[in-house]
Structure 1
Amino acid sequence: MKQVLHIFGAMNRGGAEMRTVSLMAEMRQQGVQFDYCVLSGEQGVLDDTIKDLHGEIYYCKLGPAFFYQFWRLLTTKKFDVVHSHVAYVSGFILFLAWLAGIKKRIAHFRNTTAGGSLSFIRACRDGLLKTMIKLFATDILAVCDGAMLGFWGADWKKQKRCKVIYNGFEVTSIPPNQQFWQQYIPTFNGQKVVLNVARMDIQKNHIRQCEIFNLLNQIDNNTLMVFVGKENLERKAKMLELINRYDLNDKVHFLGLQTDVLQFMSHADVLLFPSEWEGLPGVVLEAASVGLKVVGSDLPGIEEIQQHIKGIEIVKRSQSDQEWAEILNQSLLSKIEAREIIDSFASSVFLMENNVRQLYAVYAE
Structure 2
Amino acid sequence: MTPDIGSRAAPGEHRVHAAGGRGPAAPPRTPPETSAAARGGAPADPAAPPERPAAGAGTARVEARPGEAKGGRGPRRPVRVLEVLGQMNRAGVEIRAVNLLRRLDPSEFRLEFAVTSGARGSLDGEIRDLGSEVYYCRADWLFPWRFLRLVRQTRPDVVHSAVATFSGVVLALARLGGVRRRVAYFVSSADRHGASLRGRVQRAVGRLLLDRCATDILAVSEAAMRGLWREDWRLDHRCRVIYNGVELEPSGVAVAARRRAEEIAADDPDIVTLVHVARPDPLKNRARAVEVLAALRARSIQARLRLVGRQEPAETAALTALAEQLGVGAHVEFTGEVREIPRLLAGSSLLLVTSLHEGMPTVVLEALAVGTPVLSADLPGVGEIGRLLPGVTTLPLSASDAVWADTADMLTAVPPTIDQRREAMRLVRRSPFTMDRWQRDITAVWS
Counterpart AA for 1:257 = E
Greater shift, 111-120 or 351-360, is seen at: 111-120
Counterpart AA for 1:244 = E
**Structure 1 position 356 matched with structure 2 position 439:** yes
Aligned to 2:158: 81
Counterpart AA for 2:203 = D
Greater shift, 259-268 or 97-106, is seen at: 259-268
Q: For residues 89-100 of structure 1, what are the structure 2 equivalents within 5 Å?
A: 89-100=166-177
Q: Distance in 1 between matches of 2:200 and 2:141?
A: 23
Given that 2:279 and 2:310 are in contact with CA atoms closer than 8 Å, whether structure 1 keeps it comes out as: yes
Task: Decide which of 236, 247, 262 is 1:170's aligned counterpart.
Answer: 247
Aligned to 2:281: 201
Larger Rg: 2
CA displacement, residues 41-64 of structure 1 (integer Å, 9 cap, x when unaligned):
221111111112221222222334
> What secondary structure sits across from 2:436 in the alignment?
helix
**Structure 1 position 142 matched with structure 2 position 245:** no
> What secondary structure sits across from 1:250 in the alignment?
helix
Q: Distance in 1 between matches of 2:400 and 2:179?
A: 50
CA displacement, residues 191-245 of structure 1 (integer Å, 9 cap, x when unaligned):
1211111123212222121111111112242222221111233333332233223
Greater shift, 170-179 or 141-150, is seen at: 170-179
Aligned to 1:340: 423
Comparing both structures, which one devotes a greater share of its residues to helix? 1
Counterpart AA for 1:100 = G
1:334 deviates by 4.3
Counterpart AA for 1:345 = V
Greater shift, 98-107 or 250-259, is seen at: 250-259
> What secondary structure sits across from 2:172 in the alignment?
helix
Aligned to 2:351: 271
1:353 deviates by 0.9
1:10 deviates by 1.5
Q: For residues 157-306 of structure 1, what are the structure 2 equivalents within 5 Å?
A: 157-171=234-248, 172-173=251-252, 174=254, 175-176=257-258, 178=261, 190-306=270-386
Q: Distance in 2 between matches of 1:18 and 1:225?
A: 23
Given that 1:194 and 1:268 are in contact with CA atoms closer than 8 Å, whether structure 2 keeps it comes out as: yes
Cα gap change, 1:146 to 1:5, in 2 (>3 Å): same
Q: Distance in 2 between matches of 1:67 and 1:289?
A: 42
Q: Distance in 1 between matches of 2:217 and 2:378?
A: 25
1:318 deviates by 1.9
Aligned to 2:105: 28
1:105 deviates by 0.3
Q: Distance in 1 between matches of 2:284 and 2:291?
A: 14
Counterpart AA for 2:100 = L
Given that 2:193 and 2:203 are in contact with CA atoms closer than 8 Å, whether structure 1 keeps it comes out as: no
Aligned to 1:330: 410
Q: Distance in 1 between matches of 2:147 and 2:327?
A: 53
Counterpart AA for 2:436 = E
1:30 deviates by 7.3
Greater shift, 122-131 or 155-164, is seen at: 122-131
Q: For residues 312-327 of structure 1, what are the structure 2 equivalents within 5 Å?
A: 312-327=392-407
> What secondary structure sits across from 2:376 in the alignment?
strand
CA displacement, residues 100-156 of structure 1 (integer Å, 9 cap, x when unaligned):
111100111110001463210221121111100000000001000000010112110
Q: Distance in 2 between matches of 1:140 and 1:103?
A: 14
Cα gap change, 1:123 to 1:324, in 2 (>3 Å): same
1:3 deviates by 0.3
Given that 1:107 and 1:137 are in contact with CA atoms closer than 8 Å, whether structure 2 keeps it comes out as: yes
> What secondary structure sits across from 2:412 in the alignment?
helix
Q: Distance in 2 between matches of 1:338 and 1:286?
A: 12
Aligned to 1:70: 147
Counterpart AA for 1:361 = A
Q: Which has the higher contact order (CA 8 A, sep 6+)?
A: 1
Given that 1:3 and 1:34 are in contact with CA atoms closer than 8 Å, whether structure 2 keeps it comes out as: yes
> What secondary structure sits across from 1:134 in the alignment?
helix
Task: Decide which of 162, 186, 190 is 1:113's aligned counterpart.
Answer: 190
> What secondary structure sits across from 2:393 in the alignment?
strand
- Residue identity (%): 33
Greater shift, 72-81 or 231-240, is seen at: 231-240
The unaligned stretches of length 5 or more in structure 2 are 1-77
The unaligned stretches of length 5 or more in structure 1 are none
1:167 deviates by 1.4
Given that 2:193 and 2:202 are in contact with CA atoms closer than 8 Å, whether structure 1 keeps it comes out as: no
Q: Distance in 1 between matches of 2:441 and 2:104?
A: 11
Q: Distance in 2 between matches of 1:243 and 1:67?
A: 44
Cα gap change, 1:290 to 1:30, in 2 (>3 Å): farther
Given that 2:186 and 2:219 are in contact with CA atoms closer than 8 Å, whether structure 1 keeps it comes out as: yes
Q: Distance in 2 between matches of 1:63 and 1:200?
A: 22
> What secondary structure sits across from 2:374 in the alignment?
strand
Given that 1:170 and 1:289 are in contact with CA atoms closer than 8 Å, whether structure 2 keeps it comes out as: no
Q: Distance in 1 between matches of 2:395 and 2:438?
A: 28
Aligned to 2:124: 47
Counterpart AA for 1:355 = W
Please give the root-mean-square deviation of Cα atoms over the aligned residues, in Å. Answer: 2.2
Aligned to 2:93: 16
> What secondary structure sits across from 1:10 in the alignment?
coil
Greater shift, 8-17 or 59-68, is seen at: 59-68
1:33 deviates by 1.3
Aligned residues between the structures:
360
Q: Distance in 1 between matches of 2:411 and 2:178?
A: 53
